[in-house]
């Protein structure tokens, strides 16, 4: 009985209840590897490109006179749709793009209410799916 309790506590807390004494061999802590970035850079252009000119992992920001106007990219779910988001404060809704280490972070989340119905965040180039949208991360498939 003691051995079972000892194993349960060890598994829960990663150490033995006696602080690592009594012959407890410490396990190497499991760490999650950081997911690979889906969008590795922000491509700034001064004119909106045609949809067929947007690659699967292109994150395009249309900028005119140093003012961000639009963010365009293909939906990361793989449906192929081009998502166009306004970055202009006068539009409602509108989004913000921040470049972190050259990769895009987009706020707030993107929620497609037609077609694939994807709901996700983009943080440091990585796609983070909202619960109930997709069961697996696109980054895990890379």
Does 108 map to a domain?
Answer: yes
3 state DSSP class of 12: helix
Measured between alpha carbons, how far apart are the two ends of the chain, in Å? 45
pLDDT band at residue 134 under the 50/70/90 scheme: low
CA neighbours closer than 13 Å in the CB half-sphere of residue 38: 25
Residue 135 pLDDT: 42
Residue 133's domain comprises 43-141
Which pTM does this prediction carry?
Answer: 0.70
Q: How many domains does the chain have?
A: 1
Here the contacts of 69-74 (C-beta below 8 Å, separation 24 or greater) are 71/95, 71/97, 71/104, 71/106, 72/48, 73/39
Does 62 map to a domain?
Answer: yes
Does 71 map to a domain?
Answer: yes
**pLDDT per position as a tens digit, 37-62:** 899 999 999 999 999 999 999 999 99
Does 13 map to a domain?
Answer: no
Report d(CA 72, CA 112) in Å as an integer: 14
**pLDDT per position as a tens digit, 49-97:** 999 999 999 999 999 999 999 999 999 999 999 999 999 999 999 999 9
Does 126 map to a domain?
Answer: yes
Does 10 map to a domain?
Answer: no
Does 109 map to a domain?
Answer: yes
Does 28 map to a domain?
Answer: no
């Amino acid at each position: 009985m003691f051995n079972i309790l000892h194993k349960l506590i060890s598994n829960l807390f990663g150490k033995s209840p006696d602080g690592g004494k009594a012959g407890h061999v410490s396990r190497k802590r499991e760490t999650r590897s950081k997911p690979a970035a889906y969008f590795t850079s922000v491509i700034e252009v001064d004119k909106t490109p045609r949809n067929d000119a947007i690659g699967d992992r292109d994150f395009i920001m249309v900028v005119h006179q140093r003012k961000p106007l639009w963010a365009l990219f293909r939906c990361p779910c793989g449906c192929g749709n081009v998502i166009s988001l306004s970055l202009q404060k006068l539009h409602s809704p509108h989004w913000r793009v921040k470049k972190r280490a050259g990769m895009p972070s987009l706020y707030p989340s993107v929620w497609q209410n037609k077609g694939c119905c994807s709901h996700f965040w983009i943080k440091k180039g990585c796609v983070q799916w909202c619960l109930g949208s997709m069961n697996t991360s696109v980054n895990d498939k890379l």
